[in-house]
Amino acid sequence: MEIWTAFKYSCLLPGKRAAFRLNRLPMDKAVLYMVLLVLAVSCLHIPALLTSGSVSGLNAIQFVFYFLFAYVLIVLCGVLAGISLLACAGYGLRKLWKRKLAYQHLWKMSCFAMTVPFILHTIIHEWVTKNGFVSAVLLIGYPLICLAAMILHYPETKSRHVSSKEGEEHG
């Protein structure tokens, strides 16, 4: 599945078909997708960085290195940590609802669930408002609700209760 197809299905989450399709992707494609998404969203912040004056003393090559290694890398580390925390919350929901899901699937679902919030956050933060509450709802609330809805698509685990008669016969 190409990156563009992954983007399309990510925008269709928490749909059942989209969740199942995205969970078939290998982990390296999910990480690559997130790196490209963070890079694309970060590129929209370049005009704000240039007009802020903090990088006015840098030439073009220095600015590219600053942008890639200081800005994008720090944002990417924060995003990956946030995705891992979201997947941990999903693991708790999975245990609570007794669903058949491994942590790697929850991590991938969390990764792809961040697509819409990143895009909306960039639009709202840059052009509408810089309200922290709106950002928190977009970047925490929406992915958590989306992840919870996707977890509910998966079947429950079968209980392994052994009746007392079976246990006595085999034991």
- Decide if pLDDT at 127 tops 90: no
Residue 146 to residue 16: CA distance in whole angstroms: 11
128: confidence class by pLDDT, cuts 50, 70, 90: low
Q: Is 89 exposed, middle or buried (0-12, 13-18, 19+ CB in 10 A)?
A: middle
- Model pLDDT for residues 72-94, shown as the tens digit of each residue: 999 999 999 999 999 999 999 99
Strand ranges (E), 13-150: none
CA distance 36 to 80: 13
- Amino acid in the structure at residue 147: L
pLDDT at 129 over 80: no
Cβ atoms of 146 and 113 closer than 8 Å: yes
Instruction: Tell me what percent of the chain is helix, strand and coil, each rounded to the nearest 5.
Output: 75, 0, 20
Give the three-state DSSP class for 16: helix
One-letter amino acid for residue 128 of the chain: V
Burial 14-52 (b: 16+ CB within 10 A, else e): beeebbebbbebeeebbbebbeebbeebbeebeeeeeee
Q: What is the pTM of this model?
A: 0.83
pLDDT in tens, 18-73: 999 999 999 999 999 999 999 999 888 888 778 877 777 888 898 889 888 888 99
The helix/strand/coil state of 99 is: strand
Measure the CA–CA gap between 115 and 106, rounded to whole angstroms.
15
- What pLDDT does 171 receive? 46
